[in-house]
Structure 1
C-alpha cells in the first residue's frame, strides 16, 4: 500500500543536515580532484608509470593514461550539422521477460530493438524488433536458478552485438552503437560453475562478433563504440588516488583532508566538472594491476583464469555531451578514427537531447512492458500447454489486486 509521505519527510529531515554536509565535502573533494587531474595530465608518463607498477590489493582494474593521447575540443552542438553532410548509424538494445515459477512460466523471451538511420541524401531508416523465445524447461534445476540473472544478461548481450553487426554490414554503417561497456566479462560468476559455463558460451559468441567489426567490408571495418551513460566507473579516480599515494604531488596534497573523500566520487563526477561541452578527455587503457603475493596465493583457479581468451583490447575516453560527461569504449583498432567517432557522437547527442538518438530509438523498439507484453507471452505459452499451474502466491496477489 502507499507509504505515508509525512513519515518519509520526517526521516529525510532527520538526516538532511548530515547529508548536506557530506555533499559539501564531496564538492570540495571534486574541486581538488579536478585540479590534480589537470596536473597529472602534465606528467602523463609519470602517472602512467605509477599505475602500471602498482600492485592490486583492493582493486583489479585501474585506468592507465596513454602518454600519446590528448584532450580534443569540438563545438557542441556540432557545426556544421552532420545530418546535412550525411552518415549512417546503427544501434541495438534489448529487454526480456524472465522465467517466473510462481506464474508457471519456465521460459524466457528476449526482444532485440534494431535501428538504422541514414542521414543526408537519400535518407532512410529501419526501426524494428526481433523477439527470441527460449524454453528454459529444457535445462536442469541448477541451470534454471543458480545465478540465472547474469546468464540472461549475457544472452541479451550476445544477441545485441550479433544484430548490431548484421545491421552495420547490411547498411555499410559509419558507426555502430552498443549500449554499455564493450568488455562484458564482469558477468562471470565466481561461485556458480554451471552458470559460468553458460555465461562463457554467450560471452564467447559476443566477443567473436565484436572482433568481426574490424574485418568486415573487405577489411576496412566498421567503428563500434560502447556508450556508457551516467557511468559509475571509477577507474580514473582509482588511478588518481594511486598517484597521490605514490607522491606524484606534494606531501601537502597527500595529507589533504579532502583526499579520503575521493572514494565518494566516480569518473562521471570528475569529467562532468573538468570537461566543457563537446570536449573529450585523454584516452585511457583499462589496466589490470599486478597481484600482490598474498592475493595471488589466495585466488582460486577457474573463473578468472579464462578471462583473457575472450576479452578484446579496449580504450576508453570521456566526452561531455552537453548535460554530463559519458564514458565511451572503443576497440584499440578504432583509435585512428577517434576524431570521426567524436564528431558522430556529438551529432547523435545533439539530435537525441544529450543521448545518442539511435540508441534511444533502439531502446524504444526493445522495451517490453511488465503488464501487457508479459501477459501476452504467458497466454501464448498457455495455448501450447507450456504454462504450469499458477502458484498460490501468484493467485493471491492477483485476487488482492482485484479486491482493492
Structure 2
C-alpha cells in the first residue's frame, strides 16, 4: 500500500524544480532554432562531414534528404480509402502455470471509407507449445520470454501482409475499391532497435521474416508506416550537433574523449556540441510546424539499419497532427515515391482526426489484440480442461502461484 504521507514530504520543492526545468528547456529550444537557421546554408557540407567522419563520431545523427526549411502541408485525403492495421499482445510462458507455453494474439483491423462496406475487426490467436517453439532461442542464450516478443513482431508484420494481399487479390472476397488508396499502419517504429544486441543468426531470422512481409506489401502497392506518439527520439536534432561543433572536423574521439567515453563521463559534463541536450525532436518541431505540416524527410542511420537492404532503409518525418507532433516511419520505397508518400501521410493525418488525436485503426487493432486478466484465466482454464480430457494427472499450478492467488492478507 502506498503511504501518501511519506510521499507528500518528498513532493516539497518539486514545483520550483519544474519551473527551473521549463526555463532551461526554453533556452535550449532557442539555441536549436538558431542552429537550424545556420545549418540551412551549410546542409550539403554537414551531410558530407557526417559521411566522412561517421567512424569517428560518438553520436549517430539522421541525415536530412530534403531542405531543412521545407515545411509542406499535407494534402487532403480522398473520400474513398482503406486503412489496415495490426497490433499484438501475448500471454507469457511461466513455469508456475499448469503448462509451459505462450500465446500471441494479433489484432487485425480493416477500415473502409466511402465504400459502403463493413469494417473488419478480429484477433488471430496462436499458441506455441512445441519444443522447437519454446527452446529454439536457447541456442543463442535468449530467454523464451524475450523470444516471444520478437516472434510477436513477425506475427504482426505477417498479418498486415496477409490483409494487404486480400485487399489486392481479386476473388479473395476482401478486395478494396479499385480507386481506394490503401495504407498499412503499425504502432511504433519500423527500426527494430531491440534486435541489435542479439546474435547474428537470431537477428536475421526475425528480420528476414519481417522484410518478406514488407516486400509483399511493396509488390501490392500498399505503403506501410510506423506511427510513434510521444516519440522520445532526438535523431534529427543530433544533426544540428554537426553545426554546433567548434572544431574543423567532428572527430569526437580526438577532440571530446569524454563524449566518446559515455560510460565514465560525469552526468554534468557535456561535449561543446551538446548545447541543446536533452531536447527532443518532437519538442523542437512543435515550435516550427503548423497543424497539417510536416518536417523534411530524414534517413535514419541507426546501426541496426546496416542489416536492412536499400529498399527497406527507414526514413521518417515529423507530422503536426493537431494534438501533438507525431513521428512517422516508412521504408525507402515509400519515402522515395512522392505520390505514395503524399498519399500515406494524408491518410495518417485523416486517421488521427477520425480517432480524436490517435489513429483510429491502431486504437482498434490494440483493442482487438489486448489480453486481459480474465482472458488469461479463461485460456488456462481451457488448457486445464483439455489436459484432463487427455488423461494427464496432477494438473495444477505451482504452490507459489496457488498461494499468491489465495492470499489471506
TM bucket normalised to smaller? 0.7 to 0.9
What is the aligned partner in structure 2 of residue 253 from structure 1?
none
Q: Is the 8 A contact 2:35 2:243 kept in 1?
A: no
What is the aligned partner in structure 2 of residue 182 from structure 1?
190
- Equivalent runs, 1:2-401 vs 2, <5 Å: 2-56=1-55, 59=58, 61-67=60-66, 71-74=70-73, 82=77, 85-135=79-129, 139-140=134-135, 143=138, 146-172=142-168, 174-184=182-192, 186-190=194-198, 193=199, 197-216=201-220, 221-245=221-245, 260=274, 262-287=276-301, 307-308=307-308, 312-334=312-334, 335=336, 336=338, 337-369=340-372, 371-385=373-387, 389-400=396-407
TM-score w.r.t. structure 1 length? 0.80
TM-score w.r.t. structure 2 length? 0.79
Whole-Å separation in 1 of the counterparts to 2:395 and 2:22: 51
Shift of 1:198: 4.1
Q: Is the 8 A contact 2:105 2:125 kept in 1?
A: yes
Shift of 1:307: 2.8
Shift of 1:187: 2.0
Unpaired runs of at least 5, structure 2: 169-180, 249-269
**1:171-209 deviation line (CA, Å, top 9, x unaligned):** 24521112222232532434xx4xx64453222101111
Whole-Å separation in 2 of the counterparts to 1:73 and 1:311: 24
Q: 1:142–1:161: structure 2 CA closer, same or farther, 3 Å change rule?
A: closer
322-331 or 180-189, larger mean C-alpha shift: 180-189
What is the aligned partner in structure 1 of residue 255 from structure 2?
none
**1:57-88 deviation line (CA, Å, top 9, x unaligned):** 6756320011468634437xx86xx47x2111
SS of 2:6's partner is helix
SS of 1:342's partner is helix
4+ runs of 1 displaced by more than 6 Å? Answer: 256-259
What RMSD in Å do the two structures reach over aligned CA positions? Answer: 3.1
SS of 1:236's partner is helix
Unpaired runs of at least 5, structure 1: 249-255, 290-303
Shift of 1:164: 0.8
**1:37-64 deviation line (CA, Å, top 9, x unaligned):** 3442454223322332333567563200
**1:123-176 deviation line (CA, Å, top 9, x unaligned):** 331111111110165544972983444422221111111111111221245211
Whole-Å separation in 2 of the counterparts to 1:15 and 1:136: 52
235-244 or 56-65, larger mean C-alpha shift: 56-65
Q: Is the 8 A contact 1:280 1:317 kept in 2?
A: yes
Q: Is the 8 A contact 2:321 2:349 kept in 1?
A: yes
Whole-Å separation in 1 of the counterparts to 2:355 and 2:406: 43
Q: 1:315–1:53: structure 2 CA closer, same or farther, 3 Å change rule?
A: same
Aligned length in residues: 366
